Amino acid sequence: MSDWREFAPDPLPPVLTAALAVFARHGYHGASIRMIAEEAGLSVPGIYHHYRSKQALLAAVVDTAMAEMLAHTGAAVEDAGSCAVTRFDNVVECLARFHMARRDQAFVASSEMRSMEPDVRAHHIGQRDAQQQMIEDVVRAGVESGDFASAYPEDAARAVSSLCVSIASWYRPDGPLTADDVVARHLDFARGMVGAGRAPSAAPVG
């Protein structure tokens, strides 16, 4: 990719764009193939020509979003080079920008885990765990380099992840904050979570 900070307006094919819109408005169980077909301007058989079921549509929507997030995050880490602080900042910025650019995808991925069939859920959890591992790795690297003072890097990584995910629930492009404003504020919050620039904290007892 040319720039991990940039997200194309709509990377989904039309059928998945329609499915995403219907899932986001009505929820998985409130959506029907007919509703998705109408949103896409297709017939019901036309939808089934591309995807065998509503579950297959959900799986494709979520998998596409997660694959994009993993690719952008990997590029952000690579772009940072060997500096632990820059790697951390890049990952946080990448996740913040993803959750602004892909609000509906993030909402559907998090809210419809309960609707996923076991194999779809297992695949999604594997992608989510891979993303979380990237965050934990950059936090641990910062602790090991002495740039971060967190005594609990795994917990700090989860807190950073939750911070970025929450952006999708409230950010609006026409709101008072620009995307750059959101990134700057959340970088400040995230650095505080990992103890960036602080004296090393005491090791946990026990």
Tokens 């959900």 label which residue? Answer: 58
Residue 57 CB contacts under 8 Å (≥ 6 apart), including other chains: 15, 16, 19, 36, 47, 51
What global pTM score does this model have? 0.90
- Domain count along the chain: 1
pLDDT of residue 9: 82
Rounded to whole angstroms, the Cα distance separating 81 from 144 reads 16
Contact yes or no for 73/94 (Cβ under 8 A): yes
| Alpha carbon distance 165, 97 (integer Å) | 10
13 occurs within a structural domain: no
Enclosing domain of residue 106: 58-194
Q: Residue 82 is part of a domain; what is its CATH number? A: 1.10.357.10
Residue 3 belongs to some domain of the structure:
no
- Is residue 200 in some structural domain? no
Q: Which parts of the chain sit beneath pLDDT 50?
A: 199-206
Q: Which H helix or E strand runs over 103? A: helix 103-111
Q: Position of tokens 């058989």?
A: 45
Count of C-beta atoms within a 10 Å radius of residue 114: 8
In a domain, 133, yes or no: yes
Identify the residue whose tokens are 């951390």: 88
Token pair 């994009």 is found at 68
What confidence tens digit (pLDDT) does each residue in 84-127 have? 999 999 999 999 999 999 999 999 999 999 999 999 999 999 99
d(CA 24, CA 204): 42
**Inside any domain, residue 41:** no
Q: How many CB atoms lie within 10 A of CB 175?
A: 10
